[in-house]
Structure 1
Amino acid sequence: MQRDDQNEEDIGLFQRMKQDDARAFEAIYNRYFLKLSNTAFKRLQDRETTEEIVQELFVNLWLKRHRLPDLKIPESYLQTLLRHAVIDWFRAQARQNGFAAEMLAQPDRQTVNATEQHILYADLQQAYESTVGRLPEKCRQVYALHQQGRSVADIAHELQIAPKTVESHLLKAQHTLRELLKDYSAVAVALMISF
């Protein structure tokens, strides 16, 4: 397939995705997941982090599909989203590493680091559970069901609300959790609240 033909096909897939076509989204995912992962890995050099960032990019793409602009070159748009996501990750790591560098200057860091990581994770887990508990009731219900692997359509049917309302609750939960847990490692939080 020539590049222009693929771009036209991509434009069609994005338009269909904006109209809630899950198959179009799946086609975009299948077409670009590996390509975006390879690009991200060149910068990150870590498979797990790469997968987390690219997965989150696609989750956000689906959740925000109704607000997507009309795109002339969808692949460029995806690459731009990825570049911003990677930059955000490096910024978060720089903040975290400023603290880590100070801690590494102390003796016997290997043993202490393992203990600290365990404590930090326990603190994060407690903060996460506390934050989820403070979400509004309907938002908390939606989030809990989604964390169990339920689809937006399933949640909407069970709670008798519109799919767009489910998505709105999920976005609110994600934003609230990220905001209240922002002092923790970006990667740890992403693992904790991945959608």
Structure 2
Amino acid sequence: MPISIKNVMMKRHYQHEEDIGLFQRMQQDDPLAFEEIYNRYFLKLSNTAFKRLQDREMTEEIVQELFVNLWLKRHRLPELKHPESYLQTLLRNSVIDWFRAQARQDGFAAELLAQPDRQTVNATEQHILYADLQRAYESTIGQLPEKCRQVYALHQQGRSVTDIADQLQIAPKTVESHLLKAHQTLRHVLKDYSAVAVALFNLVF
């Protein structure tokens, strides 16, 4: 039987196989089983991630990376009784890691621009780099909606989501939405000025 026809028949068979069986086959290096898992859950995981991220490009990147790691680490997976729950847990952790990375990135820019001692940044070119980044950062913050700016400012002070929600008398999910909006907006600025930020980091510190 030609390989291509055999593969088609196996794919059709896998479409009716339970998740546990597919994961077991994948752990035995079966790429067709992995392909079926991917086809079965890519859209579902993407929809879940997009609800939190509201960024289609980042959603696709995170979910694609999740499946790449799933295949690469297939021999080290725990014994799974609920594969879908396991995938959802992986996705939740990936989204949390993304938010943490954004918070660190945004926090670095805020800390950098808050440095009171600029004597080390004394060359004309260095002043221009610093001023350029500062204007871009402050302009971006200034264009955020008022409540979003308040939430972001409190977050930069180290306040938790719960503390911010209590102080501003809004729901924790509303706080998360404001932080998401601020992070997404700043991410574009920090991406464009990343080289400047690195240069200034070396100069100031």
Query: What corresponds to 2:54 in structure 1?
Result: 45
Shift of the 122–23 alpha-carbon distance from structure 1 to 2, 3 Å rule, reads: farther
Counterpart CA distance in 1 for 2:52 and 2:190 is: 28
Question: Are 1:28 and 2:37 an aligned pair?
Answer: yes
* Percentage of matched positions with identical amino acids: 73
| 1:90 shift after superposition | 0.5
1:76-155 alignment to 2 at 5 Å? 76-101=85-110, 108-109=135-136, 117-118=191-192, 120=194
| Per-residue CA distance 1:168-193 (angstroms, 9 max, x = gap) | xxxxxxxxxxxxxxx9xxxxxxxxxx
Counterpart CA distance in 2 for 1:89 and 1:7 is: 34
Query: What corresponds to 1:3 in structure 2?
Result: none
Letter of the 1:24 partner, please give it: A
- Cα contact 1:7–1:74 (8 A) shared by 2: no
| 1:8 shift after superposition | 6.7
Q: Which runs of 4+ in 1 moved over 6 A?
A: 103-106, 110-116
Query: What corresponds to 2:73 in structure 1?
Result: 64
Question: Are 1:12 and 2:12 an aligned pair?
Answer: no
| 1:31 shift after superposition | 0.3
What is the number of equivalent residue pairs in this alignment? 120
TM-score normalised by length of structure 1: 0.52
Question: Cα RMSD (Å) of the superposition?
Answer: 3.5
- Cα contact 1:7–1:73 (8 A) shared by 2: no
Shift of the 7–23 alpha-carbon distance from structure 1 to 2, 3 Å rule, reads: closer
- Cα contact 2:109–2:197 (8 A) shared by 1: no
SS in structure 2 at match of 1:72: coil
- Cα contact 2:136–2:189 (8 A) shared by 1: no
1:178-189 alignment to 2 at 5 Å? none
Counterpart CA distance in 2 for 1:121 and 1:50 is: 25
Instruction: Give structure 1 stretches of 5+ with no counterpart.
Output: 1-5, 125-182, 184-195
Shift of the 29–116 alpha-carbon distance from structure 1 to 2, 3 Å rule, reads: closer
| 1:108 shift after superposition | 3.4
- Cα contact 1:16–1:24 (8 A) shared by 2: yes
TM-score normalised by length of structure 2: 0.50
Shift of the 92–18 alpha-carbon distance from structure 1 to 2, 3 Å rule, reads: same
- Cα contact 2:20–2:81 (8 A) shared by 1: yes
Instruction: Give structure 2 stretches of 5+ with no counterpart.
Output: 1-14, 115-130, 141-185
